[in-house]
Structure 1
């Protein structure tokens, strides 16, 4: 009897530790799990019995949690609540020491777990695959694979990305290129960082066959939280170009890089855009642009469908490039 009682207590304690959050619905149902985020009128609750469940915010009566959560009322105002306590229907109590505060659910715009400014180790990334086979007057086989990943350790952040494109038209190779990039960020404050990066591009079809770029400069992280991130970096670069006829040129340039992603509709849809626009200092070209923009729709916690548009342009130089690609494919994330 004693061992059975201890087992019951252990199971109860484990259940309480795993599922610390409770949501009461207006129809009387009660759901337990872990509150991940509230945004776009959807409260995302992670459970062991139904996976990740998006709940209509208008159907929520009240909720409680013993975890610290960031409660945002309005676009700017936010409050870290040490815990949430159940209240009357349509309300919740924010517990912060000796001054608990009752607020209307309708006044809350976002709920998310506060993200530490400096974390020991985090690692995120995506791998996207797109295939296109067309059999008609012109047969087309198109392959596109790309990846991006970030790892944060203390005040260091590692960024790596790469892409491979290959296309055949009537069994004739019309596109064959790949590129890789690595950037290392050192955070000087919670928002300001210094970046060093290296990039290499190889094209076996176009006139501009090889591109090598090394750059360094300051950057600013506007935000990085449960719903997305946005950062800008301004760099001084040294680029080396090699053309298919064997000729070479090199130049220095200034560029602006951006990296933006935002989760929508209860984290089921992600909008993202990354890119770089630059201008040579010796006027060998008007400007260069390498950018992508797209959407990911999450099928599961790790699988997604994606739509993406890519733009690669070098204007006003030998071997001008102006390419736009549209892809639809499948991806995995972590």
Structure 2
């Protein structure tokens, strides 16, 4: 009988130990406010003096950093201080706005307001997609309509990043179609020595109204990530490759060289996001042409899913088709979905 009780008790103790081990990180992840409130959940970011936390019972939300007493978590975070120092540290609690952190086994106490940025450990897999529907209509002496559908997606798999963009733009003036653009780009980045990366690029564009039946580009190069975190992104890439096109019913093949730049910066705790992307290419052989494209704008988050979008697009070609303008400036206002 005694042996039977011991044999029955042992697996129960083992089960309790395993459950406690699994539940411990969840219980430890919490923020304590200066007013004494305790919020349990997953700490996501600190950015722009806002702390984002995601409870198990609701979507993530933001609290003012100066209202937080301390953070407790078993995970290691990427932290940047206001003086520019960057560390990886665990959050061990604290008191009255003073945060205890552990860096390589050493415990320090630092004011939370000196945390310029905090990010979760980078996931192996991460993705986001933005779908914009923009439209402007002008009525008066001259009637004009502009409609653009834009899809932008980013997929990260470890050191590999895939960036895709699709634009379908239509414009008309007094019932006459003046733009019928289709533009698709794909970029592959391999971060072989962070922040340096190697890249491959594909592009396709057509606009029959401007006598451009197609333009296909294939290229590659290397780039540098100046910023790459939840609150900001800034990269620049040098690219060289080959371009084939049919414009004004003429086939042209050219070697090309240029750059690609992508920029995003979150404001107001991430509710407002400013962005600017541009690319420039110049032909080194064949038909001489310099091409510059840029997209500049802001997105304002309405809900976790929807946002308002304001965008200014500028296209330039040094040698467009006969009868087409060198410059094309488009202002777009619309609504978008973030997935």
Q: Specify the alignment match of 1:80 in structure 2.
A: 88
What is residue 313 of structure 1 aligned with on the other side? 316
* From 148, 152, 158, the counterpart of 1:148: 152
181, 203, 209: which one pairs with 1:205?
209
Q: Is the 8 A contact 1:19 1:34 kept in 2?
A: no
1:168 aligns with 2:172: yes
Residue 85 to residue 18, structure 1, CA distance change in 2 (3 Å)? closer
Partner residue of 2:200? 196
Distance 1:19 1:330, change over 3 A: farther
- Corresponding residue number in structure 1 for 2:34: 26
Q: How far apart in 2 are the matches of 1:86 and 1:180?
A: 48
Match of 1:90 in 2: 97
Stretches of structure 1 that go unaligned for 5 or more consecutive residues are: 1-8
Secondary structure of residue in 2 paired with 1:58? helix
Q: Report whether the alignment pairs 1:39 with 2:51.
A: no
For residue 330 of structure 1, the aligned residue among 301, 321, 335 is: 335
* Aligned equivalents of 2:33, 2:159: Cα separation in 1: 42
Aligned-pair Cα RMSD in Å = 2.9
User: Residue 290 of structure 1 aligns with which residue?
Assistant: 293
Instruction: Tell me the CA shift for residue 267 of structure 1.
Output: 1.8
Q: Which has the higher helix share?
A: 2
Structure-2 separation of matches of 1:223 and 1:327: 27
Equivalent-residue separation in structure 2 for 1:90 and 1:156 (angstroms): 38
Query: Aligned equivalents of 1:242 and 1:258: distance in 2?
Result: 26
Tell me whether 104-113 or 45-54 shows the greater mean CA deviation: 45-54
Change (3 A) 1:75 1:115: farther
| Residue of structure 2 equivalent to 1:114 | 121
- Counterpart of 1:256? 259
Q: CA deviation at 1:135?
A: 4.0
Alpha carbons 1:285, 1:317 under 8 Å: kept = no
Q: Distance in 1 between matches of 2:105 and 2:148?
A: 57
Helix, strand or coil at the partner of 2:113:
helix
Unaligned runs of 5+ in 2: 1-16
TM-score normalised to the size of structure 2? 0.84
Partner of 1:6: none
How has the CA–CA distance of structure 1 residues 88 and 193 changed in structure 2, closer, same or farther, with 3 Å as cutoff? closer
Is 1:64 the counterpart of 2:72 in the alignment? yes
| Pairs within 5 Å for 1:224-243 | 224-243=228-247
Give the Cα–Cα distance (whole angstroms) in 1 for the partners of residues 115 and 126 of structure 2: 28
State how many pairs are aligned.
Answer: 324
For 1:72 and 1:131, the matched residues in 2 are separated by 40
Q: Residue 13 of structure 2 corresponds to which residue in structure 1?
A: none
Q: Partner residue of 1:5?
A: none
Per-residue CA deviation, residues 198-252 of structure 1 (Å, 9 max, x unaligned), is 21111021134432212122222333222232222211122223224x1233322
1:180 counterpart = 2:184: yes
**Structure with greater Cα Rg:** 2
Q: Which residue of 2 aligns with 1:3?
A: none
Q: What TM-score, normalized by structure 1, do the two folds share?
A: 0.85
